[in-house]
Amino acid sequence: KRSRAKIYKRIVSKIDNIKEEWLAKREGKQCIIDIWHNFVEEMSENTFIHRKGATPANKGIVIIPGSRGSYSYIVEPIKENIKNSGYSLPHGAGRAMNRTKALWKAKEKFPDSHSLIKTELASYVICENKDLLYEEAPLAYKDMDCVVQDMLDLKVIRIIAVMKPILTYKFR
């Protein structure tokens, strides 16, 4: 949690034209959603859930982040049905290919790495590592809309909001 707060402050402090106004608006406000996705949770005595790439569905409102090329969703788990999902929801769509394959495929499709700095959603990517820019290209991920639709079909979530990425910051 502290790492995410530091990253947030570091990014906002680098965006000079909104820095003061944005930080002033955030002063004294609490984080509303802080979701982790790699941990073990004790459900009851001798019953544990190990989540890797999944987030709890039994803790209230959840954000399901998209890649830099897809929308993110704020969802509310449907309490009556969360047992059907193992009390968990996906933390994103997941990778469609490993980093090596993504690097090769993205370089083939986008020979000029600068073409990956602005996404099809008109958002921007800050990334100084050219290989990482390719490895994390939107084509490396599964279709987020399909993942969300599956959860809707299973009646384990209600969509509260859909968010478009504006800026993605990647570093290794």
Q: Which residues are catalytic?
A: 91
Residues with Cβ within 8 Å of residue 148, at least 6 apart in sequence = 64, 73, 75, 157, 159
- Give me the residue label for tokens 């569905």: 57
- Give me the residue label for tokens 């490895």: 135
CB 75 within 8 A of CB 159: yes
Q: What would the 3-class secondary structure string for 22-51 be? A: HHHHHCCCCCCCCCCCEEEEEEECCEEEEE
Output the CA torsion sign for 92, 97, 100, 105: negative
